[in-house]
């Protein structure tokens, strides 16, 4: 985690040592903070353990004898002392420590890691046994505390790690080595096949030229002519710089063959790493080439469009289109890392930024809660907090269903109709995000969410997105194309994702043909 051996606890680091921010671990009861502290080595301390050692009694006994207020005073004093100790590299805080304004202020100098745990899982972890935690004896109150503290944890966090990965904390911190503190949010993505860091912030590539020290091998940069012209040199040295024509029409098997061939000519081996520099098209096709070249090599996603930064760069879906249907040929291939530099959004044309906004709205509808409130109140689409919230929403869903056999289908909200529109128009008339916006309007109507549809229509129109279909687009062909959606299994009807209210999406919904026709026909105005 550090650049050299740590000094003994209580002693200052030697003069000239590299400045590394102290790690402060926060999170709810049962999130695994103690386990994470131990994984970070001997120059670490757990606040509760220090309190118990000094007081000669357990936290439970302090609560029982002196009350919560007295415990909070002790907790604040010990926490501030440990955070200020130059001999400690990491400190694990109690679940309620973030309630103290003084502690929150002190955390500003630390790299704050939030161990995120779902409340049901947390309750199962801490409610059993005879020696229950003082605040884990009443289930209802436990759930209320989780809801109250969660926004604080999220607000304070520089790094968000699922509690299930608390034993891997050393790996998490290794992936952040060399990353300047401040202005960057890091998420730890988890799937059944692989974990990887996601870094989101302004200037990571364009100013800092950051590259994870944990990723070795020669770089093979795959981009389009737009992204490559702006940012390609920032990823040097590169074994090869391969560029293709921008746009969805380049996401084909023929263009994949061009990339494979250029990789062979450059002497690329499976030990090298593909760098997918660009938007969703580049991320999909470069990831697909990495998944299949010599039967698989690593890929680092460096998304430069809003669509890619909020959605397509995460989760490992890669592939190409066929003339008959979108994303029909592909593979699941998780990235080794995602580096999303929000400064790259400044070079996007307004219409491209607007297209990405449709995915922002889609993700907000899926998440509901604070993210939807932020988006629906008019937050800028390139707001790093919005981008981080969208990425976190997707990563939490993918963690449950890597291969899209169940809950991950929630991410297809709006996409059944959108993909049909793209297919019928030859991937040339509408940007992906523009089609998604239209798909959302149709599928919200199918959801019976008429008032919500009106709200979304206003958001899309204000962003400059089309809210009606070109009259030249054939209605019958669009309806027919929805039946080819890749979610369809066997001879059954294509299942839709519907969303009757923000935060309440449902998968596997069968839609009556007459209702589908009416919802799509309405798009013509």
Percent of the chain clearing pLDDT 70 (strictly above): 94
Give pLDDT tens digits for 439-463.
999 999 999 999 999 999 999 999 9
Average pLDDT of the segment spanning 398-421: 95
Q: pLDDT class for 130, splitting at 50, 70, 90?
A: low
Give pLDDT tens digits for 418-437.
999 999 999 999 999 999 99
Does position 102 have pLDDT exceeding 50, yes or no?
A: yes
Does position 221 have pLDDT exceeding 70, yes or no?
A: yes
pLDDT at 486: 64
Could you tell me which residues are beta bridge partners of residue 116? 162
Q: Which of 2-6, 21-25, 156-160, 334-338 bottoms out in mean pLDDT, i.e. has the lowest?
A: 2-6
pLDDT at 490: 54
pLDDT at 189: 97
Q: Which spans in 309-383 are helix H?
A: 350-367, 369-376
Does position 10 have pLDDT exceeding 90, yes or no?
A: no
- Read off the tokens for 449: 């969410």
Q: pLDDT class for 131, splitting at 50, 70, 90?
A: low
Query: Helix (H, G, I), strand (E, B), or coil: what is residue 406?
Result: coil
Average pLDDT of the segment spanning 225-232: 95
Query: Max Cα separation, the chain?
Result: 79
Average pLDDT of the segment spanning 268-276: 98
Q: Round the average pLDDT of the chain to a whole number and report it.
A: 92
Q: pLDDT class for 135, splitting at 50, 70, 90?
A: confident
Does position 30 have pLDDT exceeding 50, yes or no?
A: yes
Closest CA to 453 of 507, 500, 413: 500
**DSSP 8-state symbol, 384:** H
Burial track 153-167 (b if 16+ CB lie within 10 A, e otherwise):
bbebbbbbbbbbbbe
Percent of the chain clearing pLDDT 90 (strictly above): 87
Which own/partner contact pairs does 169-172 have at CB distance under 8 Å and 24+ positions apart?
Answer: 169/25, 169/36, 169/37, 169/39, 169/40, 169/113, 170/1, 170/39, 170/40, 170/41, 171/195, 172/113, 172/197
Q: Which residue segments constitute the domains of the chain, with CATH numbers given?
A: 23-177 (3.40.50.300), 189-348 (3.40.50.1970), 407-522 (1.20.1090.10)
- Cβ distance 97 to 79 under 8 Å? yes
**DSSP 8-state symbol, 17:** P
Give pLDDT tens digits for 154-212.
999 999 999 999 999 999 999 999 888 888 999 999 999 999 999 999 999 999 999 99
pLDDT at 381: 87
Burial (CB count <10 Å: 0-12, 13-18, 19+), residue 8: exposed
Distance from C-alpha of 119 to C-alpha of 125, rounded to nearest angstrom? 10
- Cβ distance 103 to 97 under 8 Å? yes
Q: Which of 31-45, 219-233, 461-475, 486-500 bottoms out in mean pLDDT, i.e. has the lowest?
A: 486-500
Q: pLDDT class for 6, splitting at 50, 70, 90?
A: very low
């Amino acid at each position: 985690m550090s650049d050299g051996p740590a000094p003994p606890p209580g002693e200052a680091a030697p003069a000239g040592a590299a400045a590394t921010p102290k790690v402060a671990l926060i999170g709810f009861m049962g999130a695994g903070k103690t386990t994470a502290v131990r994984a970070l080595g001997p120059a670490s301390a757990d606040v509760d353990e220090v309190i118990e050692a000094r007081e000669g009694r357990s936290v439970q006994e302090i609560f029982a004898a002196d009350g919560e207020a007295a415990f909070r005073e002790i907790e604040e004093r010990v926490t501030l002392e440990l955070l200020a100790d130059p001999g400690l590299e990491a400190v694990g805080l109690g679940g309620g420590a973030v309630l103290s304004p003084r502690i929150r202020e002190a955390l500003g100098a630390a790299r704050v890691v939030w161990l995120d745990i779902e409340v049901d899982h947390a309750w199962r972890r801490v409610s059993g046994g005879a020696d229950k935690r003082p605040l884990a004896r009443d289930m209802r109150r436990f759930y209320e505390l989780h809801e109250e503290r969660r926004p604080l944890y999220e607000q304070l966090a520089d790094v968000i790690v699922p509690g299930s990965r608390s034993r891997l904390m050393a790996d998490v911190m290794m992936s952040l080595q060399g990353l300047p503190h401040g202005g960057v949010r890091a998420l730890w993505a988890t799937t059944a096949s692989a974990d990887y860091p996601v870094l989101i912030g302004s200037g990571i590539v364009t100013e800092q030229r950051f590259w994870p020290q944990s990723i070795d091998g020669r770089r093979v940069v795959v981009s389009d002519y737009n992204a490559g012209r702006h940012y390609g040199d920032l990823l040097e040295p590169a074994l090869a710089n391969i560029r293709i024509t921008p746009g969805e029409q380049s996401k084909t098997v023929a263009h994949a063959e061009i990339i494979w061939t250029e990789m062979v000519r450059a002497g690329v081996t499976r030990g090298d790493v593909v760098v997918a520099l660009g938007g969703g098209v580049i991320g999909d096709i470069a990831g697909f080439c990495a998944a299949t070249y010599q039967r698989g090599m690593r890929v680092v996603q460096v998304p430069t469009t809003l669509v890619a930064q909020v959605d397509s760069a995460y989760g490992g879906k890669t592939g190409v289109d066929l003339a008959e249907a979108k994303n029909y040929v592909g593979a699941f291939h998780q990235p080794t890392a995602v580096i999303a530099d929000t400064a790259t959004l400044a070079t996007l044309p307004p219409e491209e930024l607007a297209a990405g906004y449709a995915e922002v709205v889609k993700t907000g509808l899926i998440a509901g809660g604070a993210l939807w409130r932020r988006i629906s109140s008019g937050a800028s689409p390139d707001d790093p907090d919005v981008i981080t919230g969208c990425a976190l929403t997707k990563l939490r869903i993918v963690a449950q269903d890597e291969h899209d056999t169940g809950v991950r289908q929630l991410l297809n909200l709006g996409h059944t109709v959108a993909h049909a529109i793209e297919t019928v128009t030859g991937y040339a008339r509408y940007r992906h995000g523009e089609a998604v916006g239209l798909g959302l309007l149709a599928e919200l109507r199918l959801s019976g969410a008429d008032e919500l549809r009106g709200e979304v229509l206003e958001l899309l129109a204000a962003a400059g997105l089309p809210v009606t279909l070109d009259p030249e687009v054939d209605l019958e062909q669009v309806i027919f194309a929805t039946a080819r959606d890749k979610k369809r299994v066997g001879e059954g009807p294509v299942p839709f994702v519907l969303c009757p209210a923000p935060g309440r999406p449902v998968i596997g919904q069968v839609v009556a043909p007459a209702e589908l026709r009416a919802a799509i026909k309405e798009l013509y105005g």
